[in-house]
């Protein structure tokens, strides 16, 4: 027996020496670790005990090995081909990713994949919640469900991987008192899809509001929107500057109430926008910060503009309504309307003539490029 064990040990050492003799990688793509493992296997075939420090081959760089020695893929794939769950989600035994269930309360970190929002959740002041590209957040708690933002919400959608916030039964949408930075996002199905409180900071690019039951968004501190579509329900500004570029508001019921956009405060900077499909695209009760529109279209209306209590300037815009182009609804305003297109005719103005300037400098031809650009 002693002779047999010495012979086995000699065979094992010879195999190890061959695997580490400096001749480079083993043939046919095998690694030196493979050769050493063969030597240990040979020792076992001789009836010897394996060397006490025998271990499985190490996992590739950046990966970790499971207890049985299988190497995990650095990108999160397991040895059997299943994919690890995204941040915040869990995988069931079959490898499918289960939704992340949010029962309410404070939230931060990352949401990825499918998220079920069951109650009011809050991003606390000083905290950040990132929402990954392609994520779908489904509100299932009805009217008591909302995502409130006192800290920062970053919605990181991408072309072809849009983030969706959706729900039914009058969920309350996004209520922002802190910071919202969002791109490639859809907000749908809420009673009021976005509520920007006083002191909020809102910037959205490639956003879409749809199937909002009462209003698409309400802003008390303004907001910046580029390449944004608002479909079906109006917007209201009570403070701050609404800046919109290359954007569309379409309520899809031409000449009928409600109005597309209503100002009860703040102001507007509108560049290459189109407001259409409503009774009045621009209803300005008061806008102390002024209203400025260039290269824009206000059509599909009874009155394209209803105006009071502001200073307004319009350049290279198109106005098309079934009644007056501008309707005075309270006085105390000035409107510079030179160099615009009113269907090829002079503008129709209902109000004090002294409130308007440039009315005799209208264009006989529409302007190329008015309205949203691609």
* 184's tokens: 């490639």
How far apart are the C-alpha atoms of 253 and 232, rounded to whole Å? 8
Number of Cβ within a 10 Å radius of residue 66 = 12
Q: Taking the chain, what is the end-to-end CA distance rounded to the nearest angstrom?
A: 85
**pLDDT tops 90 at residue 97:** no
Q: What is the pLDDT of residue 93?
A: 53
Q: What is the pLDDT of residue 354?
A: 96
Overall average pLDDT of the 49-73 stretch: 41
Distance CA 235, CA 263 (A): 9
Tell me, what's the pLDDT at 87? 57
Tell me the pTM.
0.77
Taking CA atoms, 15 is separated from 1, 38, 53, 69, 269, in Å, by: 21, 8, 16, 21, 79
pLDDT digits (tens, 9 = 90+) for 334-364: 999 999 999 999 999 999 999 999 999 999 9
Whether pLDDT at 27 is above 60: no
pLDDT of 168 reads 82
């Amino acid at each position: 027996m002693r002779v047999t064990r010495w012979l086995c040990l000699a065979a094992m050492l010879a195999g190890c020496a061959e695997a580490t003799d400096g001749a480079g990688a083993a043939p046919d793509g095998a690694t030196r670790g493979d050769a050493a493992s063969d030597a240990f296997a040979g020792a076992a075939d001789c009836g010897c005990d394996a060397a006490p420090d025998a271990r499985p081959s190490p996992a590739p760089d950046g990966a970790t090995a499971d207890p049985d020695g299988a190497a995990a893929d650095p990108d999160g794939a397991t040895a059997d081909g299943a994919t690890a769950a995204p941040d915040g989600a869990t995988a069931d035994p079959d490898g499918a990713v289960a939704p992340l269930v949010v029962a309410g309360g404070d939230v931060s970190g990352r949401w990825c994949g499918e998220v079920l929002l069951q109650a009011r959740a809050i991003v606390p002041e000083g905290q950040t919640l990132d929402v990954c590209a392609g994520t779908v957040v489904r509100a299932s708690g009805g009217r008591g469900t909302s995502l409130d933002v006192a800290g920062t919400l970053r919605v990181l959608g991408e072309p072809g991987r849009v983030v969706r916030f959706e729900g039914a039964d009058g969920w309350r949408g996004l209520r922002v008192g802190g910071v919202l930075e969002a791109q490639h996002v859809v907000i749908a199905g809420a009673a009021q899809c976005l509520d920007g409180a006083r002191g909020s900071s809102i910037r959205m690019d490639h956003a879409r509001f749809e199937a909002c039951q009462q209003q698409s968004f309400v802003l008390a501190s303004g907001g910046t929107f580029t390449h944004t579509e608002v479909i079906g329900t109006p917007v209201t500004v009570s403070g701050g500057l609404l800046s919109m570029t290359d954007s569309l508001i379409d309520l899809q019921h031409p000449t009928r109430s409600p109005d597309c956009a209503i100002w009860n405060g703040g102001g507007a900077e509108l560049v290459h926008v189109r407001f259409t499909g409503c009774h009045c695209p621009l209803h300005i009760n008061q806008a102390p910060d002024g209203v400025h529109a260039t290269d824009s279209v206000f059509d599909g209306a009874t009155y394209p503009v209803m105006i009071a209590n502001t200073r307004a300037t319009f350049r290279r815009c198109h106005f098309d309504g079934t009644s007056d182009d501008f309707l005075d609804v309270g006085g105390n305003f000035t409107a510079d309307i030179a160099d615009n297109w009113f269907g090829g005719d002079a503008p129709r103005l209902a109000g004090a003539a002294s409130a308007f300037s440039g009315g005799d400098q209208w264009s006989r031809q529409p302007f190329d490029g008015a309205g949203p650009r691609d």
